[in-house]
């Protein structure tokens, strides 16, 4: 596993209790020695301060941290200020995203697409930041076509992205086909597979409907058959996602990025299975 890029994602806590819980989660997950922890960034910058505070705490603990930066609704001046804050905090890695429009938000600001944000970061800061961008093996839900989505990804890499993290998925073939297609286009940046542990059927269905991630029919039916039996859902989910991770790593994925949902147990259980 050492040769792979293994990372874990958090979202900024909204309450003091949430901050305490995340602190405990991070301490547990740091025992797995991930390459870095990423911290999400709310639409329109709604959690900007929370992201920075969480990142500072991770860095102060001696871990690597990568804040997400979404540009939707932002201006060049506001993004420039955020980049200065990140540099001052000691950040050297950024996950650069377009981001979603907050509810009722009319204008999209000065940046329309993530490639424009990547280009701006490079123009402002040179090579100071290692920039990760998003990739969508099952096609971005707002893309006009799979080919358009590939072209959008290519523009982000051409603008200066160093690597990519995918939306989560449960179909390894979709990932491998996406990587193969990008390589045929001359794109050779590492594309790390995003992994979502399965712990709650209702929550997983809601997230997947929102982001366009497909849950294979057999997995969906099996999860639904467990009803409220959370222990069975977690055990089955662990088997499914472990198998997915093993296939991805054996097939050449450069690493895994775990969407932790600010919980230590699901990612730890997966990791323990994978290192055996």
pLDDT in tens, 42-97: 655 556 788 999 999 999 999 999 999 988 878 899 999 999 999 999 999 999 99
Which of 24-33, 100-109, 113-122 has the weakest average pLDDT?
100-109
Tell me which H or E stretch contains 259: strand 255-259
1 domain residue, yes or no: no
The tokens for 103 are: 């509810």
**pLDDT at site 71:** 84
Mean pLDDT across the chain: 92
Query: How many domains does the chain fold into?
Result: 1
Is 33:69 a contact under the CB 8 Å cutoff? no
Q: Measured between alpha carbons, how far is 22 from 14 in angstroms, rounded to an integer?
A: 11
CATH of the domain at 209: 3.20.20.220
**pLDDT at site 80:** 95
pLDDT in tens, 153-206: 999 999 999 999 999 999 999 999 999 999 999 999 999 999 999 999 999 999
What are the helix and strand counts (H, E) for the chain?
10, 8
**pLDDT at site 276:** 67
224 domain residue, yes or no: yes
Range of the domain at 171: 6-275
Output the pTM of the full model. 0.94
Active site residues per annotation: 9
pLDDT in tens, 235-253: 999 999 999 999 999 999 9
21 domain residue, yes or no: yes
103 domain residue, yes or no: yes
Mean pLDDT value across residues 13-40: 95
Q: Measured between alpha carbons, how far is 100 from 114 in angstroms, rounded to an integer?
A: 11
């Amino acid at each position: 596993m050492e040769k792979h890029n293994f990372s874990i994602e958090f979202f900024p806590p909204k309450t003091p209790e949430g901050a305490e819980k995340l602190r405990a989660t991070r301490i547990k997950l740091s025992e797995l020695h991930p390459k870095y922890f990423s911290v999400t960034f709310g639409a329109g910058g709604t959690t900007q301060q929370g992201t920075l505070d969480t990142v500072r705490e991770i860095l102060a603990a001696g871990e690597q941290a990568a804040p997400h930066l979404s540009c939707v609704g932002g201006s060049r001046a506001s993004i420039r200020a955020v980049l200065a804050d990140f540099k001052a905090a000691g950040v050297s890695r950024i996950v650069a995203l377009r981001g979603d429009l907050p509810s009722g938000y009319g204008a999209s600001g000065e940046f329309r697409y993530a490639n424009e944000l990547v280009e701006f970061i490079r123009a402002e800061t040179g090579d100071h930041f290692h920039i990760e961008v998003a990739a969508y093996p099952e096609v971005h839900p707002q893309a006009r076509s799979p080919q358009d989505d590939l072209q959008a990804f290519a523009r982000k890499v051409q603008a200066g992205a160093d690597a990519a993290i995918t939306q989560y998925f449960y179909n390894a073939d979709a990932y491998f086909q996406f990587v193969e297609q990008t390589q045929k286009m001359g794109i050779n940046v590492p594309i790390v597979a995003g992994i979502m542990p399965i712990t709650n059927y209702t929550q997983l269905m809601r997230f997947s409907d929102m982001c366009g991630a497909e849950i294979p029919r057999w997995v969906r039916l099996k999860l639904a058959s467990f009803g409220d039996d959370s222990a069975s859902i977690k055990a089955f989910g662990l088997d499914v996602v472990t198998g997915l991770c093993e296939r991805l790593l054996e097939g050449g994925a450069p690493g895994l990025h775990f969407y932790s949902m600010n919980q230590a147990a699901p990612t730890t259980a997966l990791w323990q299975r994978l290192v055996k």
